[in-house]
Amino acid sequence: AQSVTQPDIHITVSEGASLELRCNYSYGATPYLFWYVQSPGQGLQLLLKYFSGDTLVQGIKGFEAEFKRSQSSFNLRKPSVHWSDAAEYFCAPEGTNAGKSTFGDGTTLTVKP
Amino acid sequence: EPEVTQTPSHQVTQMGQEVILRCVPISNHLYFYWYRQILGQKVEFLVSFYNNEISEKSEIFDDQFSVERPDGSNFTLKIRSTKLEDSAMYFCASSERSGAGNTEAFFGQGTRLTVV
């Protein structure tokens, strides 16, 4: 069965520190991979996506993610976190035949001043 | 930039009442989706829709739910007899293609449904 795991429910980092949010998936074939961000009470904003090719993808707001096939992972990173990055982050693989996304449980990011 | 729009942003309804959530997908998109997010939980897939029929649905999407594309622009989710546990944020999404690569679903801002 297809599944996605975000092992960290809640992460707290200091402003200016680096960030890595983990995502692991289990799919029959390599899915398309997405990261979304959701601020409290708001909708979903796409941060970045991976379909094929270069395994390091750049997104908006200074985020990047690296696809590692051997680890079935697609971790999200940012070198220097800003207070405005505090939000919920969702990893969402999309099955290539289904066209729908399966969302992870999400990771809540808190940024300390 | 084109966007998916959802109305209303917040709807309060009494238990047992019917509710219709409305979405206007991006105009050249062909695939449409509904997701829901119960407060504090993850986003869950409900249904996908293509060529005027449901292409996939989850176990959540039972007989009380239905979707429709009544005209060339709107995509609606109807809940026939709302229950308290239907209270959630409902997201509409659309995409140009499904499973064909190099495309993604664009999400609306959501409709918060509160059943009282």
Q: How many residues does the structure list for chain A?
A: 113
Q: Evaluate if residue A43 carries a pLDDT over 70.
A: yes
Number of domains in chain B: 1
Decide if A103 touches B, using CB distance below 8 A: yes
- CATH number of the A3-112 domain: 2.60.40.10
Q: What backbone torsions phi and psi does residue B58 show, to the nearest 5 degrees?
A: -95, 175
Cβ–Cβ under 8 Å, residues B20 and B7:
no
Q: What is the pLDDT of residue B81?
A: 95
Res. A31 pLDDT band, cuts 50 70 90 = confident
Task: Give me the pLDDT at residue A29, please.
Answer: 79
Report CA A107 to chain centroid distance, whole Å. Answer: 9
DSSP state of B74: -
Is the Cβ–Cβ distance between A86 and A109 less than 8 Å?
yes
Which of the two residues, B2 and A1, has the higher pLDDT score?
B2
Does the structure show a pLDDT above 90 at A52? no
The parent domain of residue B110 ranges over 5-115
Q: Do B45 and A90 touch (CB under 8 A)?
A: no
How many Å apart are CA A38 and CA A75, to the nearest integer?
A: 17
Mean pLDDT of A82-111: 88
The pLDDT value given to residue B101: 58
- The tens digit of pLDDT for each residue in A74-94 reads 999 999 999 999 999 999 988
Would you state the pLDDT for residue B26? 93
Q: Could you give the C-alpha distances from A6 to A41, A90, A108, A113, B79, in angstroms and in order?
A: 21, 8, 11, 25, 31
Q: Is the pLDDT of residue A32 over 60?
A: yes
User: What does the domain layout of chain A look like in residue ranges?
Assistant: 3-112
Which CATH number characterizes residue B16's domain?
Answer: 2.60.40.10
DSSP state, residue B15: T
Mutation site for A-interface testing, chosen from B35, B104, B106 by largest number of A Cβ within 10 Å? B104
Considering CB atoms only, which of B33, B56, B104 is closest to A49? B104
DSSP code of residue B25? -
> Strands, E, within chain A: which ranges?
3-5, 10-14, 19-21, 24-26, 32-38, 45-50, 56-58, 64-68, 73-78, 87-94, 107-112
Maximum distance among all Cα pairs of chain B, rounded to whole angstroms = 42
At A96, the pLDDT band (50, 70, 90 cuts) reads low
Average pLDDT, chain A: 91
* Strands A24-26, A87-94: pairing kind: unpaired
Chain B interface includes A44 (CB < 8 A): yes
Query: Has residue A40 got a pLDDT over 60?
Result: yes
pLDDT of A39 > 70? The answer is yes
Residue spans of chain B under pLDDT 50:
none
| B90: nearest CA partner in chain A | A43
